[in-house]
Amino acid sequence: MAIEQLTMPQLGESVTEGTISKWLVSVGDKVNKYDPIAEVMTDKVNAEIPSSFTGVIKEIIAKEGETFPVGAVICTMEVEGEAPAAETKQADAPKAESTVTAAPAPKKQAGERGRYSPAVLRLAQEHNIDLTQVQGTGVGGRITRKDLLKLIESGNIPTADQTPAAQSAQAQSAAAPVPKAEAPVQAAPKQQAIPNVPVQAGDIEIPVTPVRKAIATNMLRSKHEAPHAWTMVEVDVTNLVAYRDSIKDEFKKREGFNLTYFAFFVKAVAQALKEFPQINSMWAGDKIVQKKDINISIAVATDDALFVPVIKHADEKSIKGIAREIAELAAKVRAGKLRPEDMQGGTFTVNNTGSFGSVQSMGIINYPQAAILQVESIVKRPVVKDGMIAIRDMVNLCLSLDHRVLDGLICGRFLARVKEILENVSKDNTPIY
């Protein structure tokens, strides 16, 4: 029998690490090639990873809840075939090597910077984090992106001026007036950012799942980095409602899936994005990237999580095509079959908050996109039309925008165009196919 190693796969183009959320096998289990062995959570997607071999699980190295970099060994398997002595020793080598890299001394050497992932180095540079003072939780004490995000969220960020040498220098110059000005730099008060919530009898403590942690991290990053602004328009969709309701039964019978109101909204947004490409942009530090492809992210909720699959090239699809993709992506999310590629490439997000009765909301931007549109509930309201009070089907469209990228003028024009498209939906103006 030969020993083979299974490693953390790369579940996305910019993914550098993953968290084992659940093992689907145990030591001693026989698995076939391509059988799912574990569920892995990254900052982009929750996915099952398949076995690369047929054999028996020998050792599970990664524990549930642990984060490992891409390429790290997560388990080993016994597979059929002869294992020469040299191969057996080689299979055992990573364990010894892991012991060496886990030693704390080499972590502070300059040469160890090569072990940091690009995501870790980028976060350290953005937040002035001294990596030599960070205790990693990854394999062999490796610092992961998750470690840094936890520090940033807590506010207890170790910087270069907090090293023992710097603290000694500050102590020696205590008589000078400078230390008083530097006092706010100390991290102690920031530690209060983590709330100390008392737990009383009868309270229920709910563990934070990897999916919920990823959502929290992305939302926090968006709110910290993107200066949010908000605007709203109300749209008379009486004609749209009448048109859709008149053909929905025939459509369902013919196509096998529902023609939803949401498909009309996504199509209108895609058309307006083509006319106002500035909205289809992203902030990239020293530049703004205006994306060529119009890929609409749609928010799909489960009982305990939120996923954002993508409708690729939405401007090139008919309302029928968009309706089909909405149905298929929603079904994948709820069946737990969403693939990493289904979540990638989004350039603008449309969120159907009206599906649970909301009439006005302020969405958090899906980072690094520049805007998110909330489609609220369609409700009948009395409005003034042609000098008369009439009952009309009205909907609010709420746009959150990154004010680094977009200003009110262009967003106002964009929303006005979406409103115009939706208010002019009819059998003659709006082909379904």
Q: Give the catalytic positions in this structure.
A: 403, 407
Q: Torsion-angle region of residue 155: left (phi > 0), alpha (psi -120 to 50) or beta? A: left
Radius of gyration of the CA atoms of the chain, in A: 27
- State how far the alpha carbon of 376 is from the alpha carbons of 236, 308, 399, in Å: 13, 18, 11
Cα(139)–Cα(122) distance, integer angstroms: 20
Do 349 and 296 form a contact (C-beta atoms < 8 A)? Answer: yes
Phi/psi for 296 (5° steps) reads: -90, 120
DSSP of 258-279 = ---HHHHHHHHHHHHHHH-GGG
The Cα angle at residue 313 between residues 312 and 319, in degrees rounded to 5: 95
Cα(10)–Cα(33) distance, integer angstroms: 18
For 57, the 3-state DSSP assignment is strand
Residue listed under structure tokens 């939803």? 260
Cα(118)–Cα(17) distance, integer angstroms: 11
